[in-house]
């Protein structure tokens, strides 16, 4: 079972006043709560202000997960007014798409800076951690979350959220790739079909439906969907419910209601049993699924699963030499050279969960290879104090090499996520290994290039 509440349903700009009181005038924010009290917040438009006040009144614990569709203003403008962010006990995990230029934490910090706002983000007493996403799959306290890029003017992702029984698909700001309706010959565009598969068998789809098909020709390129297209893709996805969302700010009550009627009439023509409604601010829903599906169909490529780990069998029982022999750049060394490196230049170290293996800013003296367990690489911004998750690493992956090779202080923290075993290699010996072979140097260049790209 999942509990859904809409705190903001408008696109572009908040529109308060008597003409928008029924469906609401706040920009997008949706709350999802699970049976085990995991609380997800989808987008932080102006609707998040009231959600924050409600959380303070109910005195719920403030371990919150904020999933942002994209970083355009209407999806993040409410963040500086989210009251739990000003509470020292709040742990706020923010996820959003990797941008083209600015990083996610920089875009959020831009919402709270002088002269526009009296406080800087770094002054907030809460603990804020940002994670940038591409198409991926990850888990939050037993909740499976998958992401897929939407067709929009800036990097935008939709979220598919499942607890194993109930599935909700959240699709903000998406424009059709090809056709607008079933009857159009371009309906089979594989990109639109991939979009359908991402929402397949969802118990609830929340989808951008800002325009009508009649308006769309003049709006193409703005990055939004007509309600007719949204209805058709939801029917094809075999969804149980559809909530049209991101209402145009110029649309008053009667116009939004008319869009709902268009969708319902269209569904009736096709003989569909899907339940359709226009999302309204304050609307609460209980969504119960039967567990028929919790993940995207296997023929749809939604990116790599996070965290990415090397395929090392039974890592807990593998020796250091077994792991290094399959780990770049060490796999270029002969067995004797590997044995010598392990015996003379390294030590095996065990860390408890939450142990800080590397601290940002300290002198870089060693390189580490994960033998078993998992670590997280986190960078803390010196300007605003926001933590950004850079990577999660598992057996067969190395960290700490960048500072050693550059002779610079550590650029990030590395924390053990669970009991972890690492091989700690002395920095000068690692540099000597890198200098000893062209193959090793090229392997290191590939690793470092991946670090820079990510």
pLDDT tens-digit readout, 116-145: 665 666 677 888 888 888 888 889 998 999
Cβ-contact 148, 135 below 8 angstroms: yes
pLDDT at 298 over 50: no
Distance (Å, whole) CA 383 – CA 331: 40
Cβ-contact 122, 387 below 8 angstroms: no
Extended beta strands in 150-270, E state: 157-162, 167-171, 204-208, 241-245
- How large is the average pLDDT for residues 190-206? 94
Cβ-contact 274, 232 below 8 angstroms: no
Average pLDDT, the chain: 84
Residue with the two structure tokens 């690692």: 430
In this prediction, residue 362 has a pLDDT band, given cuts at 50, 70 and 90, of very high
Cβ-contact 231, 183 below 8 angstroms: no
pLDDT of residue 83: 92
Residue with the two structure tokens 């942002």: 68
Distance (Å, whole) CA 375 – CA 451: 15
Could you give the angle at which helices 427-435 and 335-345 cross, rounded to 10 degrees? 160
pLDDT of residue 299: 36
Strand partners, 408: none
Cβ-contact 25, 17 below 8 angstroms: yes
Cα–Cα distances in angstroms (integers) from residue 141 to residues 53, 65, 82, 144, 158, in the given order: 24, 11, 23, 8, 20
In this prediction, residue 111 has a pLDDT band, given cuts at 50, 70 and 90, of low
pLDDT of residue 116: 62
pLDDT at 248 over 60: yes
In this prediction, residue 65 has a pLDDT band, given cuts at 50, 70 and 90, of very high
Extended beta strands in 274-407, E state: 275-278, 284-287, 304-305, 346-351, 356-358, 366-372, 375-380, 387-393, 398-399
Give 335 or 15, the one with higher predicted confidence. Answer: 15
Report the run of H or E that residue 148 belongs to, with start and end: strand 143-149
Which residues are CB-neighbours of 222 under 8 A, at least 6 positions away?
153, 175
pLDDT at 297 over 60: no
The string over 380-402, giving b where at least 16 C-beta atoms fall within 10 Å of a residue's C-beta and e elsewhere, is bbeebbbbbbbbbbbbbbbbbbb
- With CA atoms as reference, report the closest residue to 425 among 375, 359, 366, 357: 366
pLDDT of residue 306: 29
Distance (Å, whole) CA 173 – CA 209: 8
Which residues are CB-neighbours of 356 under 8 A, at least 6 positions away?
413, 414, 415
Both structure tokens of 82: 């989210």
pLDDT of residue 286: 95
SS3 category, 285:
strand
Lowest mean pLDDT among 179-193, 197-211, 395-409: 179-193
Count of CB atoms situated within 10 Å of the CB of 269: 10
The pTM of the full predicted model, rounded to 2 decimals, is 0.69
Find the distance separating the first CA and the last CA of the chain, reported in whole Å.
Answer: 36
- How large is the average pLDDT for residues 405-424? 91
Q: Return residue ranges of the chain for CATH 3.60.15.10.
A: 2-304
**Superfamily name with CATH number, domain 315-453:** Jelly Rolls (2.60.120.10)
- 145-150 long-range contacts, CB within 8 A, separation 24+: 145/67, 146/198, 146/295, 146/296, 146/302, 147/97, 147/302, 147/303, 148/194, 148/195, 148/198, 148/296, 148/302, 149/97, 150/69, 150/174, 150/175, 150/195, 150/223
- How large is the average pLDDT for residues 52-77? 87
pLDDT at 410 over 60: yes
15 alpha-carbon distance from chain centroid: 28
Distance (Å, whole) CA 51 – CA 39: 12
CATH topology of domain 2-304: Metallo-beta-lactamase; Chain A (3.60.15)
pLDDT of residue 113: 62
Q: Return residue ranges of the chain for CATH 2.60.120.10.
A: 315-453
């Amino acid at each position: 079972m999942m509990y859904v509440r809409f705190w903001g349903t408008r696109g572009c700009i908040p529109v308060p006043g008597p003409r928008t009181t029924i469906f609401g005038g706040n920009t997008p924010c949706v709350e999802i709560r699970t049976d085990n009290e995991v609380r997800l917040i989808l987008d932080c438009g102006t609707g998040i202000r009231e959600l924050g006040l409600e959380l303070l009144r109910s005195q719920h614990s403030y371990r919150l997960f904020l999933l942002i569709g994209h970083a355009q203003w209407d999806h993040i403008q409410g963040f500086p007014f989210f009251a739990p962010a000003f509470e020292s006990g709040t742990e706020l995990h923010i996820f959003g798409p990797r941008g083209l230029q600015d990083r996610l934490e920089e875009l959020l910090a831009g919402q709270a800076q002088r002269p526009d706002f009296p406080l800087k983000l770094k002054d907030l007493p809460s603990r804020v951690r940002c994670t940038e996403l591409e198409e991926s799959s990850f888990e939050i306290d037993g909740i499976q979350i998958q992401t897929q890029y939407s067709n929009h003017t800036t990097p935008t992702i939709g979220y598919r959220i499942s607890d194993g029984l109930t599935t909700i698909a959240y699709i903000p700001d998406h424009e059709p790739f090809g056709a607008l309706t079933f009857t159009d010959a371009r309906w089979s565009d594989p990109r639109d079909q991939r979009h359908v598969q991402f929402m397949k068998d969802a118990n609830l789809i929340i989808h951008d439906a800002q325009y009508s098909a009649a308006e769309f020709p003049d709006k193409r390129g703005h990055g939004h969907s007509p309600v007719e297209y949204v209805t058709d893709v939801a029917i094809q996805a075999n969804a149980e419910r559809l909530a049209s969302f991101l209402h145009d700010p110029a649309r008053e009550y009667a116009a939004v209601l008319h869009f709902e009627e268009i969708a319902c009439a269209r569904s009736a023509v096709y003989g569909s049993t899907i339940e359709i409604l226009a999302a309204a601010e304050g609307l609460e829903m209980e969504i119960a699924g039967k567990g028929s599906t919790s993940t995207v169909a296997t023929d749809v490529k939604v990116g790599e699963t996070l965290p990415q780990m090397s395929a090392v069998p039974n890592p807990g029982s593998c020796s250091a030499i077994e792991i290094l022999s399959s780990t770049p750049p060490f796999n270029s060394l002969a067995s004797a050279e590997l044995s010598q490196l392990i015996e003379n230049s390294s030590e095996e170290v065990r860390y408890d969960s939450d142990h800080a293996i590397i601290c940002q800013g300290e002198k870089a003296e060693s390189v580490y290879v994960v033998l078993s367990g998992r670590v997280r690489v986190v960078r803390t911004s010196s300007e605003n104090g926001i933590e950004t998750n850079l990577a999660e690493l598992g057996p067969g992956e190395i960290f700490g090499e960048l500072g050693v090779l550059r002779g610079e202080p550590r650029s990030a923290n590395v924390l053990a996520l669970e009991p972890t075993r690492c091989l700690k290699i002395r920095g000068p010996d690692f540099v000597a290994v890198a200098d000893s072979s062209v193959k090793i140097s090229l392997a290191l260049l590939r690793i470092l290039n991946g670090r820079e790209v990510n």
